Amino acid sequence: MKDGRAPNTTPPRLGEIGLGNYEPYLMNRVMGRYNASIRAEMAKLGLTTPKMRVLAVLSVMDGLLISQLAVHAITEQSTLSRALDAMQADGLVRREADPDDSRATRVFLSNTGRATFEVLWPHMAETYGRMFRGIDEDERHAFLATLKKVHTNIRKHDF
Amino acid sequence: MKDGRAPNTTPPRLGEIGLGNYEPYLMNRVMGRYNASIRAEMAKLGLTTPKMRVLAVLSVMDGLLISQLAVHAITEQSTLSRALDAMQADGLVRREADPDDSRATRVFLSNTGRATFEVLWPHMAETYGRMFRGIDEDERHAFLATLKKVHTNIRKHDF
């Protein structure tokens, strides 16, 4: 290993790292606040977290296969299917068989779905802006670059 | 504002930023994999995510007030109370009235609770190690420093 430790060395304990230096804890705290900051607006729009994520993902990549949508929305397929049922009933999305593979289903945003996300987005953007307040362009760029490496290191899918 | 834009400028759209450059999306993807990587072990130990977080937090800060524990475990108090009921029944934690304020309750890890977290921790540490593979000390240090700033920017509590 790079740092010269044998691969079976006991990992450091959480108390040695310190909770406040443990990146997964900090990321969970950050995402907890991010989610909390849009909860009221989501409730007004009748959205749950999976539904909000479906709207966000389709707003930039419309017509994804359900399997791809599950990865991007970080939602298990069974939960996603229930969310899509409800969203279709509410007129937010529509599902269509893939023209090249009739067993595969693609999901599209309706105009109502797009309009719903446009109501929500300014609230997400506001929190997003607050997250990086006082952090300059270079530091922010470096942070994003490392975050992408971390994601590549632990992702299971090639996207 | 620092970049000279008027405060009421329309925020950039998610499609302009790009999902793959949107840090909240990347953090959610990373935490989704982190959680998935320990799900099987958690199930074996009969743990849900809130219970796992309670064990992790108390393993480094035993005897927290319930209100503090809710913040650190990123779990709403109602959900936390149910998790603590189940954990107390399973002998993982015990609750005690605060000696200085009888209306306040502190939560302590039992030996069984501590041992349960010790079974889980190597799995968390393995994923944690994988996250930062190939990222050198300086880059990692800079990432943590920025992540702490982001957390300070959006946290509601002073800890």
User: So what's the pLDDT on residue A114?
Assistant: 97
Give the mean model confidence (pLDDT) for residues A24-28: 97
Over 60: is that where the pLDDT of A2 sits?
no
- Domain of A108 in residue numbering reads as 22-130
What pLDDT, in 10s, does the model give residues A34-85? 999 999 999 999 999 999 999 999 999 999 999 999 999 999 999 999 999 9
User: Given strand B64-65, what is the order of strands in its sheet?
Assistant: B64-65, B101-109, B93-98
Nearest chain B residue to A128 by CA distance is B24
Do the domain assignments include residue A157? no
Q: Domains in chain A: how many in total?
A: 1
Contacts of A117 by beta carbon, 8 Å cutoff, 6+ apart? A55, A56, A59, A109
Scanning the structure block, which residue is given the tokens 């802006």? A129
Over 50: is that where the pLDDT of A11 sits?
yes
* Residue predicted with more confidence, A90 or B1: A90
User: So what's the pLDDT on residue A8?
Assistant: 57
Do the domain assignments include residue B83? yes
| Beta-carbon separation of A24 and B31 below 8 A | yes
Phi, psi at A105, each rounded to 5°: -120, 135
| Beta-carbon separation of B144 and A21 below 8 A | yes
Q: How far is B152 from chain A (nearest CA, A)?
A: 8
| Beta-carbon separation of B153 and A134 below 8 A | yes
Over 80: is that where the pLDDT of A3 sits?
no
Do the domain assignments include residue A30? yes
| Beta-carbon separation of A135 and B146 below 8 A | yes
d(CA A71, CA A75): 7
For residue B159, the 8-state DSSP code is -
CATH of the domain at B61: 1.10.10.10
Q: Is residue B91 within 8 Å of B85, Cβ to Cβ?
A: no
3-state secondary structure chain A: CCCCCCCCCCCCCHHHHCHHHCHHHHHHHHHHHHHHHHHHHHHHCCCCHHHHHHHHHHHHCCCEEHHHHHHHCCCCHHHHHHHHHHHHHCCCEEEEEECCEEEEEEEEECHHHHHHHHHHHHHHHHHHHHHCCCCCHHHHHHHHHHHHHHHHHHCCCCC
Do the domain assignments include residue B152? no
User: So what's the pLDDT on residue B159?
Assistant: 84
pLDDT in tens, chain B (159 residues): 445 444 556 889 999 999 999 999 999 999 999 999 999 999 999 999 999 999 999 999 999 999 999 999 999 999 999 999 999 999 999 999 999 998 999 999 999 999 999 999 999 999 999 999 999 999 999 999 999 999 999 998 888
Q: Is the ipTM of this complex over 0.95?
A: no
Do the domain assignments include residue A17? no
User: So what's the pLDDT on residue A1?
Assistant: 44
Q: For the residues of B75-127, what is the DSSP string, one character each?
A: --HHHHHHHHHHHHHTTSEEEEEETTEEEEEEEEE-HHHHHHHHHHHHHHHHH
User: So what's the pLDDT on residue B146?
Assistant: 98
User: So what's the pLDDT on residue B8?
Assistant: 57
Nearest chain B residue to A125 by CA distance is B11
